[in-house]
A and B are shown apart, each in its own frame.
Chain A
Amino acid sequence: MIRALRSWFRSLFQRSTVEAALDDELRACVDILTADKVAAGMDRGNARRQALVELGGVESVKAGVRENWHGARLASLAWDIRGALRSLRRHAVLSATNVALMALSVALASTIFAVLDAVVLRRLPVPNPESLVLISEVQPDTPSGRQGLTAPLLVELRQRAGGDITHLFGFSGLTLAVGSGESLHPGRVFGVTGDYFAALGARAAIGRLFGRDERDLVAVISHGLWQSEFGGDPGVLNRTFRLGALSVPIIGVTSAGFVGTQPDSSWEAIMPLETFQRARGVSGTAAAVDRQEAGARLRAGVSVEQLASRVNDVWPSVVEAARPPAIAFDEWQDQRGARLQVTSLSTGLSYLKNLQPGLARGITTTFALASVLAAATCLTIAMLAVARGVRQQRHSAVMLAMGGSRARVVRPYLIETAVITAVGGALGLVVGASTVELAAWYAPGDWRIGIDGASASLGVLVAAVAGAVSALVGGVVLARVPVAAVFRQDPRATQPHVRLRMGLLTAQLAVSIVLVHYGVVYVTHLAGLLRVPVGFTVDGLQVFTMSGTLPRRNLTRDYFQQLLDDVRQIPGVGAAGLTGSNAPFSTLADFSRPVSSGPRELRAATRCVFPGYFEALGLPLLAGRDVHWDDTTAAVVTANVAAELYPGSSALGRTIRTSDQRAWQVVGIVSDVAYTSPRVRADPIVFPPCLEWRKPYPNIVVTMLTRSARSLDDLVPDVRLAVARLGAHYLFMSASQSEFVEESLRDERLLATVSGVSGGMILLLTSVGLYGFCAYMLTLRQRELAIRAALGATPRHLGASLLAETSKVLVLGLAIGAVSTFTVRSLLASLVVELAVPTLWSLTVAVACMALVAVGAVAVPTTRAARQNPASVLRLD
């Protein structure tokens, strides 16, 4: 044992001493044999030669001896590792490309999984999330096809379907001005009904939560807000929380990690629905028809389908029983959905599908693009593996010819691959940590996306698989090298690899064109939306949202007139206007309701305004006049409403009826305007005067628009002062109009960025693939090209003929990709998501981009090869 250990030690760490001793031993052997032959009468020179022949070659004997040393395999491995590192250094560009691709695939895989895990797979962090469901009215007219329920409907539903559920609750979220002191900030708050906390298994960190019987004006704040705003002070329970105009006592703090039903959003406070509605200025009949999302927890043993059947059975009686007295029966029936839909609320995926369909589309498309990119990266890695295998073919043929085993021949290549995989994988995990952070930053909402053990393990697995595939592909190329054919430079020796690489390249080109095409589609789609004429001037427009202090009967006509006058007096303010509705592009919600005039009807949004609003917005008045302070039944409409209701005649002076059955006389027509989002292009809108429309009380929350060349930061203090001076409103949110434009195109921007980056990366990958393929083909045909050049072919002729050959693969790949683009779209559309529409024009642009990159990638090595001196090539051969 001790002898073996000593031998191991010497073999590994005193290698030079051991080698010297072996050398001495064999020299002594040669000297003894020589001396005997000299003694027998042979001259010294011949005697030495004979001795060496008799020994059979010193190096050969040494090799035989070394194999018997302890640690011989380890030493051989170390030798191969040194060789692999030398080879990697010698082909630094190829090695670096390989490592970079490996890192890219690992980073992509880690990021995709981290996002997938956080957004789609992770269950709501509540007890038994699988028994949580969402109950919605099916409303075919709405964009998502579904809507929430009103509070009275929930009460009736609980009474009639309570046997199948343990808890029923409603929840509704909004961004309001919140804070603990004088300084308010926009914060996400929720109004909830019923058994919200009990259903979600929430616990209070301090204080208490509330149940369905809570009638007081109270709020529960989040653990995050407790820490950030109150420094974790237990005395917070004696404090009040500002919620718009209200000051609400804090009764409890939820435990850390409680996210409610919203895995994507951080929230600050939860309060009973009535408190929430008061903060929003909703009361009376409006409160009775105010919708919330309805959630429920299934009783044990009850399935989603069983509950769906049960609630639909009782739905007609629920509708009838929950009708507010102020609403006519027919109107109430019209507003209700035909049936109820029950869906799971347990995972991020179900949350996205039901409550965030726009985000679901963006995320799904991102996944699809990232997956295609990962596939293309793997294809490029496989192509590079073939390239590395072919590069070592001649060396392997020499080793095989000298009697080396195939395993021995492949081993250095495998070690090289392992080094690339290890370095690329480690780099990929480091890059992945950053890209996951980037994804978390870029993803709308707070999804708690982060790299964890699972996503890191998946990255390692991807590296291992990519490495194994790379080892297999290149290993097969090397192990099956036809020795004689390689030495003869027989083209048949390389033919299978050429076919393999052509196949891989064609596949890569096909995948690439799909990605590049969608990159073009989404980028041009966004660019198109950014160019859409929205109907007013966005630049120089500022938006200020204000909340009123109670009682709101103080918000009179004189007050609003004074407010506007004061703001217009601010230096640099050219115009100011007020609306009781949202600013343009500040919400994507659909407020359209039926508007009629006689037999004609259309869906239009009703947005109340104060006099001077159109001037501030910069919306041209096409005919008639603006609303006046003393108007009672006058309204302004957009040109498309006028044209739809009164085709071929003037709408001025005509009467229209809004969904609340009120009649308005059209006194003015403004030009069409994109109010919800540039993608809508022209919203049909009716603008009644706010003071009349909101009777008996005016809006408590109003939005002021100012047009000024001054910067927003510069303007805010002056506006805040002007508003505060009158003492009935306070300013809680300010933004430039261009911020809203950007926000309204969030999904399009996300898709354009992701698809644009993916498209750019795939172009880079394809250029690497094409360059490698072309360089490889040129290496194979170096001799032939040199002969042709020697016979008089010009570099241009040679380059053209090479380009023509590569173009076959190019055309085939692009053709397959072009067909795939449309197939992918219909496949994905049927599976998950509606993608943007590819057109012949976008395909042409994509093909042109790809062709440009391809020609560049092919032209560089081709030109270099065509200009080589044939004499030097043939001499080296």
Chain B
Amino acid sequence: MTAAASRSRQLRGTLDLLVLKALSIEPLHGVGIFRRIRQITNDAIEVSYGSLFPALHRLEEGGWLDADWHVSPHNRQAKYYRLTRKGRRRLEQEEREWRRIVGAVTAALESS
């Protein structure tokens, strides 16, 4: 695997984790998820819609998300995504993996 492909896969994994986390509280439409990610990352991470929507459809195709059409507070029909049971299990698994990697990398950086 090339370095570029590896990085792309890593970034995609991070985005998937953020999307799953954003939806762990309540179902949201695309714009809602975009804003929730900014909110839970304290505006540190801003994903583009060009990356967000493909990620949503990828996760939906994979069975980690489900979607329904509901009327939004703007009085407009919108597609709302929610976590499936499979998605929730993946979120837990991804969280554990993320914490393990971050811990290992932090330990490595803090070592003399």
Contact indicator B50/A29 (Cβ below 8 Å): no
Q: Which of A3-61 contact B (CB under 8 A)?
A: 3-4, 7, 21, 24-26, 28-29, 31-33, 35-36, 54-57, 60-61
* Size of B's binding interface in residues, CB under 8 A: 20
- Taking A24-B77, A29-B29 as contacts, is the C-beta distance between A65 and B53 under 8 angstroms? yes
Among the stretches B37-45, B55-63, B95-103, B104-112, the one at the interface with A is B55-63
Considering the complex, which residues of chain B in the window 33-88 have a beta carbon less than 8 Å from any beta carbon of chain A?
48-51, 53-55, 57-58, 61, 63, 72, 74, 76-79
- Which residue of the partner chain B has the closest CB to A7? B61
Which chain A residue has the least Cβ–Cβ distance from B63?
Answer: A3
CB within 8 A of A28: which of B54, B63, B76? B76
Taking a contact as CB atoms under 8 Å apart, the answer to whether B50 and A64 are in contact is yes
B30 interface residue per 8 A CB criterion? yes
**A159 beta carbon closer than 8 Å to chain B:** no
Residue B31 at the chain A interface, CB threshold 8 Å: yes
Q: Nearest A residue to B75 by beta-carbon distance?
A: A35
Complex contacts, A33 vs chain B, CB 8 Å: 31
- Contact across chains for B77 and A61 when beta carbons are under 8 A apart: no
Choice from B29, B54, B55, B61 contacting A32 with Cβ under 8 Å:
B29
B58 and A32 within 8 A (CB): no
> Which residues of the other chain, A, contact B30 by a CB distance below 8 angstroms?
25, 28-29
Contact of B78 among A28, A61, A64, A68 (CB under 8 A): A28
Counting chain B CB atoms within 10 Å of each CB, the highest count among A29, A36, A56 belongs to A29
Residues in chain B near residue A55, CB distance under 8 A = 49-50
A26, A28, A35, A69: the one contacting B61 at CB < 8 Å is A69
Whether a CB of chain B sits under 8 angstroms from the CB of A67 is yes
Contact A35 B76 (CB under 8 A): yes
A28 touches B57 (CB 8 A): no
Complex CA distance for A784 and B55, rounded to whole angstroms: 51
Establish whether residues B77 and A65, one from each chain, have CB atoms under 8 Å apart when the complex forms: no
Question: B74 contacts A32, CB within 8 Å?
Answer: yes
Closest to B59 in A: A68
A448 CB contacts on chain B under 8 angstroms: none
Residues of B within 8 A of A64 (CB): 50-51, 53-54
CB neighbours of B76 from chain A (8 A): 28, 31-32, 35
Residues of A within 8 A of B74 (CB): 31-32, 35-36
Instruction: Please determine whether A56 and B57 come into contact, CB atoms closer than 8 angstroms.
Output: no
Residues of chain A within 8 A of B79, CB atoms compared: 21, 24-25, 28
A406 at the A/B interface (Cβ < 8 Å)? no
Asked if residues A68 and B58 are in contact (CB atoms below 8 Å), the reply is yes
A792 to chain B, nearest CB (A): 55
Does A525 interact with chain B (Cβ within 8 Å)?
A: no
Which chain B positions have C-beta within 8 A of A56? 48-50
Q: How far is the CB of B73 from chain A (nearest CB, A)?
A: 9
Number of A-B contacts (CB under 8 A): 66
B29, A65: Cβ atoms closer than 8 Å: no
| Closest B residue to A31 using CB positions | B76
CA distance A295 to B96 in the complex (A): 89
CA distance A185 to B48 in the complex (A): 93
Q: In whole Å, how far is B59's beta carbon from the nearest beta carbon of chain A?
A: 9
> Chain B's interface: helix, strand, loop or mixed, by majority?
helix
Question: Per-residue 0/1 for A641-682: is the Cβ within 8 Å of any B Cβ (1 yes, 0 no)?
Answer: 000000000000000000000000000000000000000000
Chain B residue contacts of A61, Cβ below 8 A: 49-50, 53-54
Interchain CA distance A21-B74 in the complex, whole Å: 19
Please tell me if A70 contacts chain B, counting CB pairs below 8 Å: yes
Residues of chain B lying within 8 A (CB to CB) of residue A21:
79
Q: Within the assembled complex, what's the spacing in Å between the Cα atoms of A69 and B60?
A: 9
Residue of A whose beta carbon sits closest to that of B30: A29
Cα A7 to Cα B31 in complex, Å, equals 24
Cα-based distance from A446 to B19 in the complex (angstroms): 78
Kindly identify, within residues 5 to 30 of chain B, every residue whose CB is under 8 Å from any CB belonging to chain A. Answer: 29-30
How far does the Cβ of B36 sit from chain A's closest Cβ, in whole Å? 14
Give the residues in chain A near B29, CB-CB below 8 Å. Answer: 28-29, 32
Shortest beta-carbon distance, A2 to chain B, in Å?
10
Which residues on A sit within 8 Å (CB–CB) of B51? 64
Q: Could you say which residues of chain B place their CB within 8 Å of the CB of A67?
A: 54
- Smallest CB-CB separation from A34: which chain B residue? B74
Residue of chain B at shortest CB distance from A57: B50
A21 to B57, CA, bound (A): 12
With a cutoff of 8 Å between Cβ atoms, the chain B residues found around residue A26 in the complex are 53
Indicate if the CB atoms of B54 and A68 lie closer than 8 Å: yes
- B53: which A residues are within 8 A, CB to CB? 25-26, 29, 61, 64-65
Contacts of B55 in A (CB 8 A): 68
Central interface residue in B51, B57, B58, B76, by most chain A CB within 10 Å:
B57
Give the distance to chain B from A9, nearest Cβ to Cβ, in Å.
13
For B78, list chain A residues within 8 Å (CB): 25, 28-29, 32
Complex CA–CA separation, A21 to B60 (angstroms): 14
Q: Tell whether A65 pairs with B49 under 8 Å between CB atoms, given A25-B79, A32-B72.
A: no
Give complex CA distance A25, B51 in Å.
Answer: 15
| Complex alpha-carbon distance, A70 and B48, angstroms | 23
A3 to B72, CA, bound (A): 27
| Distance A69 CA – B29 CA, assembled complex (angstroms) | 19
B61 close to A60 (CB less than 8 A):
no
Q: In the bound complex, what is the Cα–Cα distance between A64 and B30 (angstroms)? A: 15
In the complex, the chain A residue whose C-beta lies closest to that of B69 is A24
For residues 66 through 124 of chain A, which have their beta carbon under 8 Å from a beta carbon of chain B? 67-70
The answer for the CA separation of A35 and B29 in the assembled complex, in Å, is 15
Chain B residues near A7 (CB, 8 Å)? Answer: 61
A54 near B61 with CB under 8 A, answer: no
Cα distance A60–B79 in the bound complex, in angstroms: 19
CB pair A68 B61 closer than 8 Å: yes
Q: Which residues of B contact A60 (CB under 8 A)?
A: 50
Among A35, A57, A65, point to the contact of B57 (Cβ < 8 A).
A65
Q: Give the distance to chain B from A18, nearest Cβ to Cβ, in Å.
A: 10
| Chain A: minimal CB distance from B25 (Å) | 19
Q: In whole angstroms, what is the CA distance A3 to B61 when docked?
A: 8
Tell me the bound Cα distance from A54 to B47 in angstroms: 11
Residue of A nearest to B72 (CB): A32
Residue numbers in B under 8 Å from A65 (CB-CB): 53-54, 57
Q: A57 vs B53: C-alpha distance in the bound complex, in angstroms?
A: 12
Find chain A residues with CB under 8 A from B63 CB: 3-4
Nearest neighbor of A8 in chain B, beta-carbon distance: B61
User: Please, which residue of chain A has its CB at the minimum distance from the CB of B52?
Assistant: A61
- The answer to whether residues A70 and B61 also contact, given A29-B29, A29-B49, A32-B29 and a CB cut-off of 8 A, is yes
Q: How far, in angstroms, from A57 to B55 measured CA to CA in the complex?
A: 16
User: From residue A106, how far is it (CB to closest CB) to chain B in Å?
Assistant: 41
Measured between beta carbons, the chain B residues less than 8 angstroms from A25 are 30, 53, 78-79
Please report the C-alpha to C-alpha distance between residue A61 and residue B30 in the assembled complex, in whole angstroms. Answer: 12
Docked CA distance A67–B78 (Å): 22
Complex Cα gap A35–B31 (Å): 12
Docked CA distance A4–B48 (Å): 27
Selected contact of A68 from candidates B31, B49, B50, B57, CB within 8 Å: B57
Q: Which of B53, B55, B58 has the most CB of A within 10 A?
A: B53
Residues of A within 8 A of B31 (CB): 29, 32-33
For B57, the chain A residues whose CB sits under 8 A away are 65, 68-69
Nearest-CB distance from B80 to chain A (Å)?
A: 10
Q: What is the 8 Å Cβ interface bit string for chain A, positions 177-219, against chain B (1 contact, 0 not)? A: 0000000000000000000000000000000000000000000
Q: Which residue of B lies closest to A54 (CB)?
A: B49
Inter-chain contacts of A31 with B (CB < 8 A): 74, 76
Question: Closest B-chain residue to A60, C-beta based?
Answer: B50
Task: Please measure, in the bound complex, the distance between the C-alpha atom of A29 and the C-alpha atom of B54, giving whole angstroms.
Answer: 14
**Interface CB pairs A-B, < 8 A, 29:** A4-B63, A7-B61, A24-B79, A25-B30, A25-B78, A26-B53, A28-B29, A28-B72, A28-B77, A28-B78, A28-B79, A29-B29, A29-B30, A29-B53, A31-B74, A32-B31, A32-B72, A32-B74, A33-B31, A54-B49, A55-B50, A56-B50, A57-B50, A61-B49, A64-B50, A64-B53, A65-B57, A68-B58, A69-B61
Ordered nearest first, which 9 A-B pairs have the shortest CB separation?
A64-B54, A68-B58, A56-B50, A28-B78, A25-B79, A35-B74, A55-B49, A32-B31, A68-B57
- Where the two chains meet, the residues of B that have a C-beta atom closer than 8 Å to any C-beta of A are 29-31, 48-51, 53-55, 57-58, 61, 63, 72, 74, 76-79
